[in-house]
Chains A and B, each alone.
Chain A
């Protein structure tokens, strides 16, 4: 469980991007963080990912403040796929996958390759192992990035705007593909795409100007946010 308590964050002298924001992200189902662009979604994700530290408030992971526990351990429990993916262009897809297995989890090279290959196969990406990131399509790259994070068996996997580079068809098949990962991890999806969120997540939150607009079942918050938006 990730328990976010009254966090506020701003860059230097700017306005608060998140203000006294609170939410509880449960374990056991996929969670969506919805909102228009500029609503603070990505900042929230970077805070959860421990890349940004809020000026006030706390984020607890399984009851412990994430800024006080071992950084390395935490990173292994929380996977992140950034909007721009950041696949490593000088490494093959397989090497992208095995890098952390070998150097963080200290697996020997053969085990790492076996594990990465079987994951690629399971996720339907087995032809891509020897390709370089710039030789595969946007949809494939998105899946490879998810697979790379998934291999470390994180309890939560954060995806930042995973559909931004995908067309409608690929978005649909990607959503289906993500549904198949339910047993592997808990997804936290940051997106502005309500249709996509509905397909993948069961609960979530709707952010507006750094504050919670709606929270709860995904269908409900989408309804609420839409009606609220039209009112304004």
Chain B
């Protein structure tokens, strides 16, 4: 045992020596390299027909990890929060086709570019627009947060820019006639258009060229130099050309055209959706349970209206009910790490939705308590029951009956609210649907399936609520 330890440490020392002598990114197997990408940017990152992450960026990330002798952990996250996630230590680097810009470079360190692309205008085949200079007063779509938006605003300020969450949404509005054209990466655009079987075509030259790099935290220059060295090695070894061909030669290969109309295996689709939906229900269930447990004492405090604690609870509940749950989610997910509390996306989601449901349920409980006549309290006290016993046996059972219908409504509302947690990359059903859509280009179908899944769960709850409401009314508890 001791011998092994010694030998191990010798290996480590040797590794360190090697590293310092040759400055070669070799540091032994340690923490995995955690990188982020959207998983919604084919062919750079997307979920393939087997439901696995795939794409040029994914391959580059794996190569880098391989050269650094690290395991790789890939986190999929939304584009508009991807830098915030890096800065709050959710991952080590972003290998997600991010263009190097001075503005971004203020926040992060960029590696040397690992590919060069450029912005390209696409329009419908029959559109008369010749290039970007014809687009004044026209509606042009870009994906939120991408460099194209800033470029267009600066150089073509008369264009009406409309931002979208993803290219799929842009295609949808191109078909609907809401857009005259869109600007996106020339490689991605061409790939996606063929894949989705659309008749959009390139118009004009590249608007500008983009150098695509890998951002890391400013506090992490060591990782940056390791990545740069790894990129150089990928380039020198010919691996990069190999990957480039693998992904971008596709667009002219007949093989690809064949694949374009291919649907995703329906078993994979349903497995993904069911997995996502089970996470949705899991989050909803625990958020409601935790929310309810805390709502009970808060409801009593709101009902009593006494003391400083009432003022605190009242303002807290009002604040939570008066602010969007999405913002609350961002506070927990991106804000808490600044106070040293870094939660996983799932935990962040449960915390946020628990707090949110707690506020709503506290109000529901308060109104339930309000419906119980104060005389019931006197009646119970006159029998010698303690205050707690009066609450437990007399007030609460009556309040609870009145509370059930609004409680059910809150349960339904909260179950639906879980949809928003997809923005912090919890793999719930909406996110799974989005990743399927990024491959199949059929948003209406899969969003409809998701809507039906929600309805199957919420409909019985709503029916149950009205059934209980009738029962409660029959028993005469629903009067003031």
- Residues of chain A touching chain B, judged by Cβ–Cβ distance below 8 Å, are 49, 51, 72, 75-76, 79-82, 84-90, 99-100, 103-104, 132, 134, 148-149, 152
Contacts and interface: CB of A to CB of B under 8 A. Distances in A.
21 contacts: A51-B381, A75-B381, A80-B382, A81-B382, A82-B378, A84-B375, A86-B382, A87-B379, A88-B379, A88-B394, A88-B398, A89-B475, A89-B476, A90-B401, A90-B475, A99-B393, A99-B394, A100-B383, A103-B385, A103-B393, A152-B383
B290 to A, nearest CB: 27
A100 B378 contact: no
Contact of B383 (A85, A89, A99): A99
Interface of B: 373, 375-376, 378-386, 389, 393-394, 397-398, 401, 475-477
B383 A132 contact: no
Nearest to A102: B393
Contact of A82 (B375, B389, B401): B375
Nearest to A158: B382
A82 B475 contact: no
Nearest to B382: A80
Contacts of A100: 383-385
Nearest to A151: B383
B375 A149 contact: no
Which 7 residue pairs across A and B have the least CB separation, nearest first? A86-B379, A75-B384, A100-B383, A80-B382, A104-B384, A86-B375, A134-B476
A138 B394 CA distance: 21
A148 B383 contact: yes
A90 B386 contact: no
A90 B398 contact: yes
Given A90-B398, A90-B477, A149 B378 contact: no
Contacts of B383: 75, 79, 99-100, 104, 148-149, 152
B382 to A, nearest CB: 4
Contact of A49 (B382, B385, B386, B477): B382
Contacts of A134: 475-476
A76 B194 CA distance: 85
A84 B475 CA distance: 19
Contacts of A99: 383, 385, 393-394
A95 to B, nearest CB: 9
Interface centre among A99, A103, A132, A152 (most CB of B within 10 A): A103
A103 B384 CA distance: 9
Given A99-B385, A100-B385, A103-B393, 11 more contacts: A76-B384, A81-B382, A86-B376, A86-B379, A87-B379, A88-B376, A89-B398, A90-B477, A100-B384, A103-B389, A149-B383
Interface centre among B373, B375, B383, B389 (most CB of A within 10 A): B383
B457 to A, nearest CB: 30
Contacts of A80: 382
Contacts of A72: 384, 386
A149 B385 contact: no
Contacts of B389: 103-104
Contacts of A49: 382
Given A89-B398, A90-B401, A134-B476, A82 B385 contact: no
Contacts of B386: 72
A79 B375 CA distance: 15
A76 B379 CA distance: 13
A89 B477 contact: yes
Given A72-B386, A104-B385, A82 B379 contact: yes
Contacts of A87: 379
A208 to B, nearest CB: 26
Contacts of A132: 475
Nearest to A99: B393
A152 B475 CA distance: 28
